[in-house]
Chain A
Amino acid sequence: MIARTLRQLALVLALALVPALVSGAWQLQWHAQEPLAPGEVRLATARMWGDQVQWVDARSRAKFERTHIPGALLLNEDEWDKLVGPFLDAWDADKTLIVYCDGGSCEASQAVAERIRTELKIGGVYVLKGGWAAWEGK
């Protein structure tokens, strides 16, 4: 009986896999990519989340003022104490935070994301893989 149950269960699981694969292939970009570090999220995923994302710019103020992702909030380590108030005022608990820095080997986004998690006790904070460079498509 257990074997019969497991056989049927496997069949149900496999049947569900067929539409899921079709749906997944349609919705997601399935191609080999560099693995994600813990807490990182790809630009394709972030775009899929659409307006549920609150971007957080961890770069310098000068870079932020030059250009940034539309709607992004400035919050960097250099001006943390000054920026954290306005950041919390603008923060929407229903949105998912994604922090970005320049890209490549920059570590500012990881540092800011960690401070948001630990000091501000906000969960659901991610770091954009590839940072600003990924956004710019470089």
Chain B
Amino acid sequence: MGRVGGKVIAVLRLAVAAVFLVAGVMKIWDFAHARSATPDFTITIQHYELLSPDLSMLLAVYLPWLEVIAALALFARPLALGAAAALLGMSVMFLAAIGSAWWRGLNIACGCFGKDEATTDYRLLILRDLALLAAIAVLFAHEWRRARAA
């Protein structure tokens, strides 16, 4: 890979990691009120009307940590491929959830970056998630090639 390609990958890695790190941390801790953000995120998940209250709560506890760990693991060579796979999976899941909410006509906040996000503008959200998905797909392909060459 050339220097330009390497720089593009480095920028993409930083950007994707930053997005997931911020998203994860904001779902774990509500900085505005200095309290856990898990209850708010649980409600946000429930507004999608896809999971039971108990499953919503479990997901609200686990998903933000997965975002944080996967974002950090993107910089650890032995884990980067797995991290990219996890981020890819999460992005597809987010797109499916948002698309499903749009299709069912739900007027809910995305909750992608904590509870204070504005009401969902589905077109914008889907475009944003598609861009993120494309960036992660490039990273995944890069890690795949690198792992195969190793």
- Whether, in the assembled complex, B117 has its beta carbon less than 8 Å from a beta carbon of chain A, the answer is no
**Which residue of B has the minimal Cβ distance to A50?**
B39
Q: Is B144 a contact of A12 with CB atoms below 8 Å?
A: no
B126 at interface by CB-CB < 8 Å: no
What number of A residues sit within 8 Å (CB to CB) of B?
34
Task: Say whether A9 contacts B147, CB under 8 Å.
Answer: no
Count of A-B contacts judged by CB separation below 8 Å? 97
Instruction: Compute how far the CA of A9 lies from the CA of B90 in the bound complex, rounded to whole angstroms.
Output: 12
Cβ contacts under 8 Å, B65 to chain A: 16-17, 19-20, 23
State whether A23 touches B85 (Cβ < 8 A).
Answer: no
Interface membership of B79, Cβ < 8 A: yes
Q: A120 within 8 Å of B by Cβ?
A: no
B132 within 8 A of A: no
- Contact code string A38-69 (vs B, CB < 8 Å = 1, else 0): 10111001001110100000000000000000
A100 within 8 A of B: no
B143 to nearest A CB, angstroms?
A: 9
Q: Is the CB of B148 within 8 A of A36?
A: no
8 Å CB contact of A24 from B61, B79, B80: B61
Residues of B within 8 A of A50 (CB): 39
Given contacts A23-B65, A24-B61, is CB(A5)–CB(B38) below 8 Å? Answer: no
Chain B residues closer than 8 Å to A1, beta-carbon distance: 144, 147-148
Listed from nearest, the 8 A-B pairs whose CB atoms lie closest are: A8-B82, A16-B66, A16-B69, A24-B61, A9-B82, A48-B39, A20-B65, A20-B62
Q: List 13 A-B contacts (CB under 8 A).
A: A1-B147, A5-B82, A5-B85, A8-B81, A8-B85, A9-B82, A12-B73, A16-B62, A16-B69, A23-B38, A28-B57, A28-B61, A48-B42
Residues of B in contact with A (beta carbons under 8 Å apart):
28, 36, 38-40, 42-43, 46-47, 49, 52-54, 57-58, 61-62, 65-66, 68-70, 73, 78-83, 85-86, 89, 106, 144, 147-148
